[in-house]
Amino acid sequence: MLDEKSQAIPRDCGDCPIRHRAVCARCEADELESLDQIKYYRSFEAGQTVIWAGDKMEFVGSVVTGIATLTQTMEDGRTQMVGLLLPSDFVGRPGRDEAAYDVVATSDVVMCCFRKKPFEDLMGRTPHIAQRLLEMTLDELDAAREWMLVLGRKTAREKIASLLSIIARRDASLKLTKPAGPMVFDLPLTREAMADYLGLTLETVSRQISALKKDGVIQLEGKRHITVPDFDRLLDEAGDDSDGGMLA
């Protein structure tokens, strides 16, 4: 698994798959140049921990490819996932030294990193970066608050449906699928990771997925490959307002 390190690492920012979504999205050519000079890439294998909570953080950065998770753990081992990091998502917090959460690569991950200090300095001089980071942070705050409703008030079945609809929606926006027809995607998470996200046990996750399958809300091939024949039906099961805020 180690020989073929063929994760396509972009040579320069112009080719970067997250050029227009990441923290650099608003940058002009000269600003991009400044960022380019302090950036470096790092790869992580599936399962590897990127940062441990409490560790000193010497870099911040963006997920370029792959999926990582943000989790919090109590002393007795109870675990709650507090964020799912997808390509273009930002890791780290300017102005803080220690990581607040564990960051774990769920799949193989490539990150575009900046040493923290130079990045902070550059951010001070480059409003386009700070503006974009504010915008991204506000989006994350909204996502976190939406998740609070899921965790606090939804049933197990609704929680699963909510998670599936979020993954399905994101996947569609990435692949620019035609809005009609069934949605097909692969679960990027194990049952255990889903449980940690949803505040459930993995057994309950498994049971509810089986139930949604039995009821025809989803179909699955193998353990991970999912087909959603009717997305509105899924949203309904999630207890969401049926319009379901379409983001650009």
Partner DNA sequence: CGGCCTCCTTGATGCAGATCAAAATAACAG
Partner DNA sequence: CTGTTATTTTGATCTGCATCAAGGAGGCCG
Taking residues 212 to 231 in sequence order and writing x for each that binds DNA by CB under 7 A, - otherwise, the string is: --------x-xxx-------
- 117 binds a copy of itself, rule: CB under 8 A: no
- 239 binds DNA, rule: CB under 7 A: no
| Cβ proximity to DNA, 53 vs 151, nearer residue | 151
- 152 binds a copy of itself, rule: CB under 8 A: yes
Residue 156 interacts with which of DNA, a copy of itself, none, CB < 5 to 8 Å by class: DNA
Stretch that binds a copy of itself, among 12-20, 59-67, 107-115, 124-132 (CB under 8 A): 124-132
Query: Are β-strands 109-115 and 90-91 bridged in parallel, bridged antiparallel, or unpaired?
Result: unpaired
The count of chain residues that interact with a copy of itself, using the rule CB under 8 A, is: 38
CA-nearest of 237, 85, 81, 95 to 158 is 237
- 56 binds a copy of itself, rule: CB under 8 A: no
| Cβ proximity to a copy of itself, 70 vs 111, nearer residue | 70
Residues 135-164 touching DNA, rule: CB under 7 A, are: 155-157
| Cβ proximity to DNA, 155 vs 227, nearer residue | 155
How far apart CA 100 and CA 144 sit, in angstroms, is 15
Least distance from a copy of itself to the Cβ atom of residue 166, Å: 15
Instruction: List the 90-91 sheet strands across, edge first.
Output: 39-44, 109-115, 59-65, 90-91
Residue 148 interacts with which of a copy of itself, DNA, none, CB < 5 to 8 Å by class: a copy of itself
- 141 binds a copy of itself, rule: CB under 8 A: yes
- 82 binds a copy of itself, rule: CB under 8 A: yes
